[in-house]
Every structure is written in C-alpha cells, then in structure tokens.
Structure 1
Amino acid sequence: MALRGEYWWVRLRPDGLDWARCMSGEGTPRQEGRSGDWSELPAPPGARLMLCVPGERVRVHRVRLPGGTRRRQRAILPYALEEQLLRDPSEYHFVPLPRPKSQPETPVAVVERELMDHWLDGLEEHGWRPRVLVPEFLAIAPPPPGTWFLDAAESPFLLRLPSGGGGAALPGTLVGQPPGSLLLALEQARVAPATLRVRVANEEQRARVGEWTTWLESREMDLEIQEDGRSRPAWLARQEQPAAGCNLLTGPYASREDPRVWGRRLAPVAGLALGLLVVAGIQWVLEGQRIRAEHARLEAAIEETYREAFPDARNLVDPRYQMEQALEQLRQREEDPGESDGFLERISRLASRLAENEEDTEVESLAFERDELTLEVSMGDYEALERLERRLGENGSVEVDRAEMEDGRVSASLRLREED
C-alpha cells in the first residue's frame, strides 16, 4: 500500500484537522500544521490523502473464519460477528486485518458506515483522492512479537499489538497503575506479552508509568518506557506507512486508484485478452506448421520437375534457381544461333522432313553428339528407307550405319551431318 511520491497525512479531530505534507522515503514531513476544517487544508486539488481517524470509533474483533475465498469470508463476517454488534450488521463496514498463519482467529476492524461516509464526505468535491484510511492505533508501526506498545502520552491511550493483532484506543487517565481498559485487554489475551513498551511525553509521565513495574513484575512482564516530547500528531505523522491490509478503504469505499481494485476490475479483461493471445498463438503455430509443410511439398515438386527436365544434373542446391538458369541458357541458344550448337534448329528441320514422309515410319530414338544426329528408325521396306535417306540428304550428308530386317520391318540407324 505504500504511497509513492508526495501525499498528505491528515488526522481527523473533533475540533479540526492535523496535517502534514509528506514525501515517501523521507522520515520527516516537509510541512505540517493544523486546520479548522477541510476548507482550510492547504492541499492542492488532486492531492492524495492518508486519513488517520479517531481510534475509539473503530473496534477490532476476533473471529474464526472457515476456509474459502476472501469474498466468501467477507460475506460470512456480518453473521459471525452479529452477537458482538450493538446494531444491525448492515450498518457496519467490516475489514479483515492481516493474520499470521500461526493464529487461528482473524482480527476484523468494524466501523459504522455512517461514520465512514462522514469522514469521506466532501473530499472529492475538493479534488482530493483519499487513498488510505486507518484508525490511529493502526497508524503505529507494529511492535515485535511478544511485545505490546502503548502510547500513553495523551488520552485516549493507543494500544498497538504485534502484526496480526490489531490494536485499540483505550480510555483512561495516567495514574500509578495500569488503566482498567489495559488490564481487561491483558486478561482477554490468549497469550500475554512478555514486554509492555510505553511511550510518554515527559518526566512526570515517566514517573507515573514507572509505578506500574511492581504490578507487571507479578505477572512476569517487563516494562520499557520511551520518553518522546513530540505531540501525538507530530509523532504519528512520522510513522512508517501502515501495511496494505490495515487500510479501511475496501469494498464500496475502495479508492479508485488502489491497484488491487484496478486489478480486480481488469482481471476479466486481462483473462479474455490472455485467452485470445493463447488462441492466436496456437493458430500461429498451426499455420506455421502448415506453411512449412506446403513449402517442403513445393520444394520436393520443384526438385522432381528439375530432375525430370535435366536428368543429367548431379549437384542440386537450389532447384528453382538452377532450373531458371538452365531454361535461360536454352532460350539464349534459341534466340542467338551464332552462339548455339544448332540443336533446336536441326531438330526442327528434321521434324519437318519426317512429317513429309507419308509412309509407315517410326522414330525409335534420337541422339545428338557434337554436330551429328543419330536417328534410329523402323520402316516397312528398304525402298521406304531409300526415299527417307534422299529427303534427309537435302540438308546435309546422310550415312546408313545399319539396315536389317526384323520381324517384317526394316530397322535402320542413320547418321546426319549438316554441311556448313
């Protein structure tokens, strides 16, 4: 709950206000004073306030709560404390205080809603934002375990118990024996303290509290006296900021700037956003896997196509690029006969000669090496072979390497060489 930066500590009194302009991390207020009412408070609009209210108007009860969520426990509080309240539970505001795990009972601060409304009335009209509201005894830093702290410098006395114990405002006057309200608190304590630490304002008060020694020793309790001449508001303003669980601004009184309130309000939206992010992440992973699988399939298809088009290729690094380069080379050869080996042109002319032949001619294979074409054909008879030889000879020399009859057809091998 620690307020960061500048804040205004304000203590409410029946006849006015004590105030101090504080800076987090600094032990001494930068300004302090008194005001007759809220209109005289010098805090600027937008200032953050820490309110310290009269401790005698806030009671701390102890109750054993069943397990469950914090919301469920809050709902049970009015019924658990009903017998200890003077009025209908709906007229009270309940705030569970921090409880150590070793303690079975939870301290609960109880204050009338009418008082809460009165303390906060008019603050927003001045542009002030109350962030913390604590009774005077909870504004005191908790003592170490086994020690009770009593501020006896002014009346009513302020009793602060160790962390998880809360405290109380005790009526009474300072005399030679502990006040009855303190004796009653000691009798009701489940575990009596080993040390009672008392703050006094002067030597006279120290002497009166010193007379408690005999009474406390009979109950095996040590007495420590701290003399501090500062007034109660000046002393309280210099205390460390109370723990978050001591703030009475909870439930309907919660500060709109309280990060816990914002956290509860934003939790559904944050959960929805987180769910959307998870779904988007899963979709992104699945889409990535689909794209990788499609890419691998396309790469395999390109490689297969390349090997079909260029079966003599050995080093396959980038099939797409290598295919583009090979096709470009073939295109350049076709467009620039001076730099080509004439293969495409010769195939084209050979195809036209073969197309002119109306006889039963079958081309079985075609091979090209250097500047020669080797053509394997099958024909009906030797006369048809002679006629094909004459037609092909119009473009260059033709040699018949082999001609033999197989299964009633002439199988021949022709070598074609174009003349320059």
Structure 2
Amino acid sequence: MLIVLLPEQPLLDGDAAQALSWWRLERDGSVLATGRDTLAKLRQRFPAERLRALAPASAVNLFRVRLPAQRAAAARAALPYALEDLVSQELEELHIVMGPRRSDGQVSAAVVSHTPMRPWLDCFRAAGWRLEALLPQAALHADAGPDQALLVMPSPWPQTDSQVLVLSAQEEPVLLDPGLAGIWINRRLAALDPAAQTLTLAGLSASDLGLDLPDTVEVQQIAERDHLASALVQAQRSTPAFNLLSGPYAVSMAAPPWRKMRPALIAAGVALALGLGWLAGEHMILSQERDALRAEIGRLFDRSLPNSRREDPVMQFRQVLQGGAQISFNSGMGPLLHAFFVVLKEHDNAQVQQVRGTLESVEVELKVASFSELEAIRAALSAQPGISENLEGADSENEGVTARIKVQRSGA
C-alpha cells in the first residue's frame, strides 16, 4: 500500500506535478520504500498499488465533543450542531466527519473546509489514481497520547516547515508551528486541575517552545521516540478511525470490481486451459483412432476384394453389397456377406453376434428365436446361387437359439 502526504499549501489546478512525500508499506506495516515523487511518477512505478492520502494537519481540525449515548445515525446528525460554537465558518462551508468515541466518553470529529477537498481529489484523478481513503494526518497519533496532561515532541513528518506534535489525554492530537505551540500549551495547562498540570517533553525544552510556566506545572523530560512508524501502521488499517471520503466525497473502500473478481477470473482461466488441453487430447486420440480405422478398412478391402482397385473403400463396399451381382468364385468375401445379409434381411428377429471370414468363406454367429427360424435361414442361404452353407453348431438358450453358420462358395 502507498501512503501519500499532501502538502501544507492548498493544491491548485497547476499543482498536479508537485512532488509529495510517500511511503510504500508491507502488510505488517514495515516500510518497503519511501521518497518524494509526483503522483504521475508514482502511478508509473506502482500501478497496481492501493493508495491512501493524508490530509495535512493545517487543513483539518480535530475536536472532541460530548454527545448523548445514542444510535450512530442520530449522533452523526447531532454532531454539526455540537461543533457550531467551536468553528469559525458556516456549517455549510465545512465537511464534518464523525470519528470513534474515545475512552473519556467524548466523540471525536474531523472538520475540513470544502475548498481544498475538490482540488485534492482532482489531482489524484488526473494522475489516474483511485484514492481509497483520505485520512487526517494528526489523527494517526491518537493512540499514542499520554494517560494524563500533555506530551510534546518534534513532528516526525517530513514537512518543509518544522512543527510540534502535541498529544493530550483530553484532546485530539495537533501539529502546531513552534511559535504557536507555547500559547496552545499554556491554555491547555490552565484548563487542567492544578494537581494534574504535568507537561512531558520529548526531544524539546521549555525554552524551545517559548514557554513561561508557573510553578504549579511539573515538567518531565523523556527520550524522543519514533512515532512515524506507528502512525503509518494506523494509516493502513482496514477500518481507519477517520476517512474524509464520506458524505459527498464517499467512495467505496472495497477493491475495484475487477480486483474482487480476480480469483474467479484466475479459476476460470485455469478451467479454460484444462478444457482446451482435454479437447486437444481428445482430438489427438480420435485422430489416432480414425487413422487406425482407415487402415483396418483398407486391409479388409484388400482381403475381401483383392482384384479391385482401392479408391473409396466404404463406397466400394456399399456398391458391392447393393449391386446384387452374380457371385464370382474369385471375387472375395464381399459377395458372401452380401448373400448372407440379403437372407437375414427377411428375418427381423435374427441378430448377428460375430463375423469371421476369409477369402473363401464367412462364418457368422447369430442368435435367432427358434430352431424353425434357423432352418428357414439355412434354406434361404442354400437357395442362393453359387454358395453353400453348413451349420457348425447350435445351442438352445432360454431367450432363443445361438448358431454358427459357415457360408462358402459352391466350388470351394
């Protein structure tokens, strides 16, 4: 996933080529790469990556307000009126997003003017990006706040102007200019109970912030920690606390339809490949069987009609069987088969089980309904000119009679 930090200055129509700080994250939150590039170059380098953007803290104000414990829809409807006295603009000019309920029972909220929202989204659209989420930069530090009072440290973000990150137990995180941080901190400390007026500094001193603190404020110094890594992990959560792409700017955080269908498309491709492979195998097997059958037909033609020229064996067999010509002594087994099937045509119940033949004779195993029908077939064969028949054997069964009849030429 790519995380892009929008600049402090509002993006105008000609700022689409402005270089932005970015981080490429692994699924566990580890940073794979980082740098500064334009959105167009990022699109060329990482065309398949998902993209989320961070709205700068100077453009988004974070608040905590108390709302009655009620359904989320009702709380969302009441939120603008709870913020009306805290913002300087008309509510119609602001985009308000409700966040989670904090541990102190208050509901967090993000407020941003409509003015920068469209230029931000237009820049991503012009570069060919589908923006998945737009997150308030400062809100990513909410989970790092102290248990009480204030924690102040240098901003971990790579921005042009130096900033100070202020974390509070009762307020949402803020990123401030060092010149304004002293005023903000003094006001927050003054609002606390004197027993709870504790200020924790990490990598900073009171003089760095221009603080003139009363004796009631306890100042603690701790080592500076890297809060950027934990903030980036928060930025790639599947359900972020704030997503400014809601209301009139709402987009689905789900994967694009083609990406959701990718497993099905892969499975369909595999099934298609297997199907084509199976068809190719079947085609090869059938081709081999066709060639073998043609070869067998050729050999049968040569044995049955040795004095005939082979051109179209199937058609030549049909002509011989349908011709009714006088049987010649040297004309192969074709006329013998023709004579036999001419007789068999008159007996619908007779079934041929097996045929074996040579150039001189044909032995047919057939099944008939009774001995009387068998004798009728034999009599009809004997009446055929130029051939003779001989009963090789007959067996009586429950369903009829099985017999083997040998048909040969009279002179054989």
State TM-score, norm by structure 2: 0.49
Q: Kindly name which structure, 1 or 2, has the bigger radius of gyration based on alpha carbons.
A: 1
State TM-score, norm by structure 1: 0.48
